[in-house]
Amino acid sequence: MVLGNSSRVTEFILLGLSDTRELQVLFFTIFLLAYAMVLLGNILIIVTIRTDPKLSSPMYFLLCNLSFIDICCTSVTSPRMLVDLLSQRKTIPFEDCVAQLFFLHFVGASEMFLLTVMAYDRYAAICKPLHYTVLMSRQVCWVLVAVCWAGGFLHSLVQTLLTIQLPFCGPNTIDSYFCDVPPVIRLACTDIYVTEWLMASNSGLISLACFLVLVTSYTFILVTIRVRFTEGHWKALSTCGSHVMVVTIFFVPCIFIYLRPFSTFPSDKHICVVYTVLSPVMNPLIYTLRNNEVKASMWKLWKRCRV
């Protein structure tokens, strides 16, 4: 991979989450279990939704896509992090660092857009029930998902191009367990004032805008439920409550990290664990343990597999 800058740095050193051996072993065990839960839980959700015709509504179609994105998102950072936790020297080649940065923002931004679409789906189902089949037809769902992926790609492309045009001539130590825009660009041996503002406008404002759209959607939902409360709306409120939990866990750390250029804190790398590890773990737990339809379909799938 040929990069169009004057970089002399060929690799970066990742400091990881801790330099204490005992903590590294503890983190390895916790994150290995978390990664296994993400893979198994989300694969189970995808298989369940794909094999049960009853789970063919737009909500489950979007949930299936969310599970796939969660698998991709955590797979960008977790495998290397697990290897580095057991390694004495934690290095990553420059090209691999750029690739990790690109794919992290690609799937991360796609998930932001998809969560926003899922909030719109709940808004349409609860506030516009008579028009729901038209507003969220299968064709519309495919278009919305495609737009999410396209938006994630364009966002990531901008972030990556802004990064690789910077010169890196040392130091090469990243105080994190993965390559991300804020810690990487601060190693550039040039003035990054404009670059930081551009990246904060790109990542930070996108995170904030999506979060505000989500909050607005759920505000309309709560107002609608309050005006005409029924048993069906209670179920919808429970579903929305789970969604709000996922959204909060995912968006708040992203806004904190990306919407403040020119500043960094030692705790940033620990906050990043929330949206790279914790959020993908929470999704299958929330969407299965709090959803009777999905649990019933999983139980039927389990009984079919045992026959």
Domains observed in the chain: 11-298 (1.20.1070.10)
Rounded CA separation 96/172 (Å): 14
Q: Which of 41-45, 196-200, 290-294 has the lowest mean pLDDT?
A: 290-294
With a CB cutoff of 8 Å and minimum separation 6, the contacts of 274 are 249, 250, 253
The pLDDT of 194-223, averaged and rounded, is 87
Please report the pLDDT score of residue 1 as a whole number: 42
Q: Which of 34-48, 89-103, 222-236 has the lowest mean pLDDT?
A: 222-236
Please report the pLDDT score of residue 61 as a whole number: 93
CA distances from 37 to 53, 152, 231, 304 (A): 25, 25, 33, 22
The pLDDT of 113-119, averaged and rounded, is 92
The pLDDT of 277-294, averaged and rounded, is 79
pLDDT digits (tens, 9 = 90+) for 172-184: 999 889 999 988 9
DSSP category for residue 5: S
The pLDDT of 290-298, averaged and rounded, is 77
- Confidence check: pLDDT of 170 > 90: no
- Rounded to the nearest 10 degrees, the angle between the axes of helix 21-51 and helix 292-306 is 90
Residues 106, 153: contact at Cβ < 8 Å? Answer: yes
pLDDT-derived band at 4, boundaries 50, 70, 90: very low
- Confidence check: pLDDT of 307 > 80: no
The pLDDT of 127-153, averaged and rounded, is 92
Please report the pLDDT score of residue 53 as a whole number: 84
- Strand ranges (E), the chain: 11-14, 91-93, 173-174
Residues 253, 203: contact at Cβ < 8 Å? Answer: no
- Confidence check: pLDDT of 155 > 90: yes
pLDDT-derived band at 267, boundaries 50, 70, 90: confident
Please report the pLDDT score of residue 237 as a whole number: 65
The pLDDT of 188-216, averaged and rounded, is 88
Say if residue 129 is preceded by a cis peptide, omega within 30 of 0. Answer: no
